[in-house]
Amino acid sequence: MLGAERSKKMGQPVVHFEIIGNDSEKLKNYYSGLFGWKIESDNPMNYGVVQRVGNVNTDGVGIGGGVAAAPEGYAGHVTFYVEVPDVEAALVKAENLGGSRMMGPEKVMEGVEIGLFNDPEGHLVGVVRSAS
């Protein structure tokens, strides 16, 4: 019950950003040089992870994200992800409010499910549900 009450009183947080493009190494070097981000890509997907820790301001404000390669034939995107309790429900709601589903729900790794939609003006937005 407390979780349900809390969700009625609070908005859902932005928890991740993502930069996807054709040359992931160039993008990783660019953003690392520009903002001082430490980007770790030592994972099976070669997804460049920007940890929240070490990338916050003096008040502790900041989010983690990722920089990676786009699939063949896809130009890429820059977007943010909002944490939701149910990816499918969030995508349906986005569609009902005038947006359009681009992808998902899709399990991208153990305990993490994502979806992407375009808002009514075509801006790409992500939603994520994590087991943690």
Please tell me the predicted confidence (pLDDT) of residue 1. 43
pLDDT digits (tens, 9 = 90+) for 19-63: 999 999 999 999 999 998 999 999 988 999 999 988 888 888 899
Buried b (16+ CB within 10 A) or exposed e, 63-93: ebbbbbbeeeeeebeebebeebeebeebbee
Q: Tens digits of per-residue pLDDT, 85-126?
A: 999 999 999 999 999 999 999 998 888 999 999 999 999 999
Domains and CATH numbers, the chain: 1-76 (3.10.180.10), 84-132 (3.10.180.10)
> Quick one: pLDDT at residue 11?
87
Please report which confidence band the pLDDT of residue 132 belongs to, taking 50, 70 and 90 as the band edges. Answer: low
Residue 9: predicted pLDDT: 66
> Could you report the per-residue pLDDT of 69-82, keeping only the tens digit for each?
999 999 999 999 99
